Amino acid sequence: MQAFFLKEGFFLVFYSRKLASNFQKMSTDIKALEPQILWGHFADLNAVPRPSKKEERVIKFIQDFGKQLNLETLTDQAGNVIIKKPASAGMENRKTVVMQGHLDMVHQKNADTVFDFDSQGIDMYIDGDWVKARGTTLGADNGLGVAAIMAVLSSTDIAHPPIEALFTIDEETGMTGAMELDASLIDGKILLNLDTEEDDEIGIGCAGGVDITASRSYQEEPTPENVKAYQIAITGLQGGHSGMDIHKGLGNANKLMNRILFDGFTNYGLRISSIQGGSLRNAIPRESFATFVVDIATESAFLSDIQDKIDAILNEFKNLEPNLKIEITETSLPNHVMELGVQEGITKAIYAALNGVYRMSPDVEGLVETSNNIAKVTIANGDLKVECLTRSSSDSSKWDLANSLQSCFELAGCEIGFSGDYPGWLPNIDSEILNILVSSYEKLFNEKPHVAACHAGLECGILGEHFPEMDMISFGPNILGAHSPDEKAQISSSQKFWKLLLEVLKSIPKA
């Protein structure tokens, strides 16, 4: 036995060293990409765990970064970090620019990926023209924007006006950093938000949002006799950003699971023991798992019928969600199931609750105005919770949909909570910085950029309330699959983004 532990210990030490060696090689590969100053800072940033609500380590990382450069480094009560850098030679009379990005990242991983976001750096690799992560989100949202700001701060040969670098916290789960910002620490007149995910797009507006939580308790009932227990696992959906991808009609694991369970309950008296679906409000849910029981007398007919329903769903999504899996397996009997009346009410409520696009913008062609994401469903141990994120560029339309969802879930006996309400960002087509971005883009790339508002929650709406006179714009490199383990950043696009950023900085007008 003692010898076994010695061998096991040797293996663990060897395995840990191997992981460290692989991580070091990965970091070296990424840092060799051009522009090296950008990718080098991104690799350093991605070595620091930075989940939303747990930004202590990345806050210290950014504080140390600023202090090592001997730049004025401030931190407000919320945890936002501001680093100020004087203008480069000859640019002292230009307007002060606020370069802004958020430090936190969405933490999502595949079910079969073993990874601890609280302690591990992101395991990145290069795949052709893309940087990806192994089984997890990459953190390019908004890590590449943060890295670009770090690159400007650390540079010695980039022409730039006076810079105020604003690194906000908790953007992904409430935007509390932007909301609680100490505005007295910022003097800039122009804001460059580097949190857009298409390199040919210049953002001039965004959606606001509100979190909606439906919850209630229920009596657990003893599992009936003469039943068998099964688990349904829905996996392999693409997921994605609940704002930018909501119009694509991608599969929502919570809605698909409810569809199957509702049918089994209606036709065969299926009784639910537990459901765990989705993980984050701002990510379209990719996976859902449910445990239930069904009467032995109807088991054979139920299994045949439910497989037909599963096959029908797979056929519906065969082109849009080619990796979708819906598997039903027998499992051990649970001790309890949901109270019957509550089960009926909540399955009907989830069926009736809107998921997806509620209204398209009547003013901007192709822009989603209002939507909802049924992001997370948790049912277990006498408590149920359904968590949604409603987005809209129209405040009145946002609350119209919120009231609709509230009514739906209240009919099922739930209590409704609203939280994290934040405003949208109204476009300003006469913006001076917009004109600079457009002319710089056309000069560099000989084509016109796409000037648009987006159906995502950028911090510009909140920052605009702090600084109503500030001229704001948003742009960034191509990032696909944000908020999902399929997230990837395009290398050539990052080079394009960097080139545009440098041109914009040297084109800032005089104060």
Cβ atoms 375, 389 nearer than 8 A:
yes
Average pLDDT of the residues of the chain: 93
pLDDT at residue number 120? 94
pLDDT at 11: 40
Q: What residue ranges in 319-423 does DSSP mark as E strands?
A: 325-331, 336-338, 356-360, 368-380, 383-392, 415-422
Query: Residue 16 above 50 pLDDT?
Result: no
Q: Under CATH, to which class is 210-422 assigned?
A: alpha beta
Mean pLDDT of 466-482: 96
Position 117 scores a pLDDT of 94
The arithmetic mean of pLDDT across residues 290-316, rounded, is 97
| Residue type present at position 244 | M
Our CA angle for 355, 356, 358, nearest 5°, is: 100
Q: Are 241 and 284 in contact (CB under 8 A)?
A: yes
Torsion of the alpha carbons at 19, 25, 26 and 29, rounded to the nearest 10: 180
Q: Which of 271-280, 353-362, 456-465 has the least mean pLDDT?
A: 456-465
pLDDT at 24: 57
Residue 19: predicted pLDDT: 46
Q: What is the pLDDT of residue 341?
A: 97
pLDDT at 10 over 90: no
Give the pLDDT confidence score for residue 25 in this predicted structure. 58
Q: What is the mean pLDDT of residues 54-64?
A: 97
Q: Identify whether the C-beta of residue 188 lies closer than 8 Å to the C-beta of residue 97.
A: yes
- pLDDT of residue 23 exceeding 70, the answer is no
Model confidence band, residue 6 (pLDDT cutoffs 50, 70, 90): very low
pLDDT reported for residue 22: 53
User: At 111, is the pLDDT very low, low, confident or very high (cuts 50, 70, 90)?
Assistant: confident
pLDDT of 14 over the 60 cut: no
Given a cut of 80, whether residue 206 has pLDDT beyond it is yes
Alpha helices in 111-239 (DSSP H): 140-154, 176-179
In this predicted model, what pLDDT tens digit does every residue of 28-44 receive, in sequence order?
Answer: 899 999 999 999 999 99
- Alpha-carbon distances, residue 80 vs 47, 49, 354, 425, 467 (angstroms): 20, 17, 35, 21, 16
Range of lowest pLDDT (2-16, 96-110, 173-187, 213-227): 2-16
pLDDT band at 138 (very low <50, low <70, confident <90, very high): very high
Q: Which SS3 state, helix, strand or coil, does residue 105 take? A: strand
Whether 472 and 459 have beta carbons less than 8 Å apart is answered as no
**How far apart, in Å, are the Cα atoms of 470 and each of 93, 102, 147, 385?**
18, 19, 23, 40
Tens digits of residue pLDDT in 413-446:
999 999 989 898 988 889 999 999 999 999 999 9
For residue 429, what pLDDT is reported? 85
* pTM across the whole model: 0.73
Stronger pLDDT, 281 or 289, i.e. the higher one: 289
Reported as a pLDDT band with limits 50, 70 and 90, residue 174 is: confident
Q: Which amino acid is at 309?
A: K
Q: Tell me what pLDDT residue 13 has.
A: 42
Amino acid at 136: T
pLDDT at 1: 30
Is residue 116 helix, strand or coil?
coil
At the top level of CATH, the class of 24-206+425-506 is alpha beta
Among residues of the chain, what percentage have pLDDT more than 90?
Answer: 86
Mean pLDDT of 212-240: 97
Active site residues: 104, 171
Joined together, the tokens standing for residue 508 give 């800032």
pLDDT over 70 (residue 203) = yes
Whether the predicted pLDDT of 474 surpasses 80: yes
The predicted pLDDT at position 18 comes to: 46
Where do we find the tokens 């879930």? 409
Per-residue model confidence (pLDDT) at position 274: 98
Between strands 163-168 and 97-102, the pairing is parallel
Buried residues in 37-50 as b, exposed as e (16+ CB within 10 A): bbbbbbbbbbbbbb
Determine what percent of the chain is predicted with pLDDT higher than 70. 95
Mean per-residue pLDDT, 387-392: 97
pLDDT value for 42? 98
- Domain locations along the chain: 24-206+425-506, 210-422
